[in-house]
Amino acid sequence: MYSCFTNEPAADVHKQISILFPTEEHVEDSHLGVANASSIIMAAKFWDDVLPKECFCKQEATQKELDLNLHHAKWIVSTTGEDGAIDEDSCVYLGSHNMSQAAWGSFEKNKTQICIYNCELGVVFGPGQSKAVKELVVNTFPLKSSKPAKYDLSLDRPFIMEKQQIYRDNFDK
């Protein structure tokens, strides 16, 4: 995923990474609705300044009856093949990390250290680990993680609580 000559991300890295996160529309249509979606955390600044928007995919359930649920879990899949299939080199992450610098960290001291404020839990099945185990994890998760639909960046926006009117009515005083 990184160029071996420049240590920079490859130009097509966004095609290899899928970050599943609910859109505003998904949360609005969910059983819980916006007023009860406080466990879906993404900081507006993190979306605006840090995250690779081309990697974001819609959070869709594998079963129709689960499609209106909200999931706090964060799901990231990185594959190396053109078809997006899981293989020995794939990386699968499942965890609770909020989409914020507090959870993922921010560089300090001229990028020589990372400061993380939140304690989160996640599991990574990295390169070299069993393809079968990764496929089992991916295929038993209640969200579509095999070739999920990418955000249409001209239409889709991630759910960001601080941008919702209900949040502003209660906390911007």
Domains and CATH numbers, the chain: 13-171 (3.30.870.10)
CA–CA separation, 75 and 100 (whole Å): 15
DSSP 11: T
Q: Are strands 56-57 and 17-20 parallel, antiparallel or unpaired?
A: parallel
Average pLDDT by stretches of 10, the chain with 173 residues = 44 77 92 88 87 89 85 84 80 86 85 85 89 89 81 93 70 57
Q: Residues 47, 51, 53, 58: is their CA dihedral positive or negative?
A: negative
- DSSP structure class, residue 112: T
Q: Provide the pLDDT for residue 85.
A: 81
At residue 164, φ and ψ (nearest 5 deg) are -90, 145
Mean pLDDT of the chain: 82
pLDDT at 172: 57
- Nearest Cα to 149, choosing from 44, 61, 41, 24? 61
Bridge partners, residue 108, by sequence: 113
Query: Rounded to two decimals, what is the model's pTM?
Result: 0.80
Side-chain half-sphere CA neighbours of 109 within 13 A: 4
